[in-house]
Each structure stands twice: as structure tokens, then as C-alpha cells.
Amino acid sequence: MRRTQGNAAEPGARPDHFLGKGSGSVRASARIQKRRSRFRGASINFFYLPAVLLLIVFIIYPLISGIRLSLTNWDGYSDAQSFVGLANYKQMLTDANFKQIVINTFIYGIGSTAIQQVLGLALALMLNKRIKGRTLWRAIIYLPALVAPVIMGIMYYFVFQYRQGALNAFLGIFGIHKIAWFNNAGLSVAIVVIVNSIQFVGVSMIIYLAGLQTMDQQVVEAAEVDGAYGWKKFWNITLPLLAPSFTTSVVLNLIGGLKLYDMIKVLTGGGPGYATNSVSTYISTVYFDNQAAGYASAIGVFLFVLIAVVTWLINKGLAKLDWEA
């Protein structure tokens, strides 16, 4: 047979049109793979979108709106708004009630935090031991934290009420005259601090219990072998190991105390006068009673900055002591 020369294909060779088509598909596949590899790590960012949207809608947008309103004289009801610059912030410096209200806010924050740390840690140390019914006691102590502050305030209002209050009725058994608990400003502030501490001491207890139960027992046992017991063991071993729990509990309780609102509204209503108001309750008073939404917004911005700065300072101070969470 005669072989045709010229168009005869080499063994194993592919037609030119096939090579062209194949190389194009290979290049397209390579581009797709490159694109997939580029977005493979970034695709996880799409899972952040719901959280980012919630952050924008419920935190960032209200904050920006509040700052904008704080620069106006809006009354909270009409459509009329006039730009007044920093006038509302200057008014805070001349407000006769504002200084006492800021002091009250710090008393609520620092006082409640201090009481909750002492009682919470003591309860955690006690209920971390193998005692009968400790699970029940933990539940009883933590239960008030699950109750709404409004309900808690109403309950204790009937405890401290003048005419038919449970406390005055109890004191009457011993011949002690009734006390007008809410007529004295200092006493009213102390009652708010105590009630708030009673409600949320269980939160501190749970945080410290978690710290105690995750503590490195080898360090504790080594300290006991070296003769560390009682106060010496607590101060040198237990307390330093509870540093992260301490920081967490302090920051959470301090923020809660500085923005306290519900308890004050129900127990004292901010009275007598403005004597027991916190910054949070004063905002509602200025907005609804005085119809000064612009000034109320300025106070709200002040409260935001106050909590942010205090929290930052607390974390900074504890970090220097190597007690950061």
C-alpha cells in the first residue's frame, strides 16, 4: 500500500483544531480554579454580614443619629429642628442637677460592683465545696438575675413602703416607729445599690464558680504541699488564678451599674426631687418631662463616652496588674 505523505499524522499526535480547543478549555479551567482559590478564604466573611447589619442598624446608626440630634434644639415631637452646635453640651456644665446625677451614677456603678464582687466571690468559694444542697443554693442565689429589674423593683418597693411595707411592719413588732425610707436622698441611693446588688450577685457568683472549677488543680495541690492554707492560700494562689474571672465580673457589673435605669424608676422615680436620678433616668426625664430631646441626646452621648472611658481605664489598670481577662 502507498503511504500518503504530507497529511499523514504522526502516531499519538492530535489534530490542530483539537489542540486549540483543548488548550482553551484548560486555560478557562485554570482561571476558574484561580478565582475559586482567591475567594475560598474570603467566602467565610459572608457569615459576618448578619452581625454587621445588626451592628449598623441597632448601634452605629442610633449612635450617629444621637450625636446629630445632640447638636440641635429638637423638642422630640415637632418637625422643627435648629442647629445649635455645642450649646447642649455647654448646658450640662451649668445644669444644677447634673453634677449630683453623675455622682449618683458612679455610686450605683462602683457601689454595686464592690458589693457584688465581695458577696459573689464569698458565695462561690462556699458553694464550690462539697456541701449538701449546693446545686439548689446556687439556683436560689442566681434566680433573681432572671427576674426583670422592673419586677424586682416592685417587689422591694413593697418591702420599703412607708405605710404597709414589710420592713416597717417587721420593725413595728419591736416597737420601732415607721421609717420613711424613700424620703431621705442618701438612704434612697443606698437602697437602690443594695437591691441592685442582691439581684445580680448571682451573676458574679457564677463567673467566680466557673473560674474556680477551671483552675489548675496541680498548682493548688503544690501550694498545699508547701503549707499554703487558709488566707495565705487564698491571697497567693486562689485570687491570682481568678484574675480573668475578676476582670470579667468587674467590667460587666460596672457597666450594668453605670447605666442603671429600671430599678431607680420603680423604686424611687428619681426622687425626692432629682436626688436619686442616674444619668439614664435623667435622660428620660429631660426628654419626656422637659421636652428637650436635643439636650437628652447630648446627655446620652455623654453616658456612652463615660461608660467607654471607665471600661477602658478599668481594663488598662487591671492589665498593668497582669489581671487582664
AA letter at 5: Q
pTM, whole model, 2 decimals?
0.82
Residue 18 pLDDT exceeds 60: no
| Per-residue pLDDT band at 193 (split at 50, 70, 90) | very high
CA–CA gap between residue 197 and residue 255 (Å, rounded): 13
Nearest to 247 by CA among 308, 318, 317: 318
**Residue 72's beta-bridge partner residues?**
83
Average pLDDT over residues 71-98: 92
Cell of 191: 437602697
| Per-residue pLDDT band at 72 (split at 50, 70, 90) | very high
Nearest to 108 by CA among 20, 196, 209: 196
Mean of per-residue pLDDT scores for the chain? 86
Average pLDDT over residues 254-269: 93
Nearest to 140 by CA among 211, 213, 206: 206
CA–CA gap between residue 136 and residue 28 (Å, rounded): 67
Nearest to 250 by CA among 183, 311, 169: 311
Q: What is the pLDDT of residues 211-250, one digit of tens each?
A: 999 887 777 778 777 777 778 778 888 888 898 899 999 9
Percent of the chain at pLDDT exceeding 70: 86
The alpha carbon of 302 is separated from its chain's Cα centroid by a whole number of angstroms, namely 17
Residue 175 pLDDT exceeds 70: yes
H helix intervals, the chain: 16-40, 49-55, 61-69, 87-94, 98-106, 112-127, 134-142, 149-160, 166-173, 185-213, 217-225, 230-233, 239-241, 243-258, 262-267, 279-284, 293-320
Residue 6 pLDDT exceeds 50: no
pLDDT of 12? 47
How many Cβ atoms from other residues are within 10 Å of residue 220's Cβ? 16
Average pLDDT over residues 106-111: 96
Structure-model confidence comparison of residues 105 and 42, the more confident one: 105
pLDDT of 307? 94
Cell of 111: 457601689
Q: What is the pLDDT of residues 115-162, one digit of tens each?
A: 999 999 999 999 998 888 899 999 999 999 999 999 999 999 999 999
Q: What is the pLDDT of residues 26-57, one digit of tens each?
A: 666 777 776 666 656 666 777 888 899 999 99
Average pLDDT over residues 289-304: 94
Cell of 1: 500500500
Q: Distance of CA 152 to CAs 135, 157, 202, Å? A: 23, 9, 14
Which helix (DSSP H) or strand (DSSP E) does residue 179 occupy?
A: none
Q: Which residues contact 107 (CB under 8 A, 6 or more apart)?
A: 189, 193
Average pLDDT over residues 15-34: 61
Residue 8 pLDDT exceeds 50: no
Q: Are 289 and 76 in contact (CB under 8 A)?
A: no
pLDDT of 90? 95
Structure-model confidence comparison of residues 67 and 240, the more confident one: 67
Q: What is the pLDDT of residues 153-169, one digit of tens each?
A: 999 999 999 988 999 99
Cell of 98: 447634673
Q: Distance of CA 236 to CAs 16, 129, 156, 225, Å? A: 83, 19, 39, 14
pLDDT of 49? 87
Q: Are 247 and 315 in contact (CB under 8 A)?
A: yes
Structure-model confidence comparison of residues 256 and 35, the more confident one: 256
CA–CA gap between residue 141 and residue 154 (Å, rounded): 19
| Per-residue pLDDT band at 1 (split at 50, 70, 90) | very low
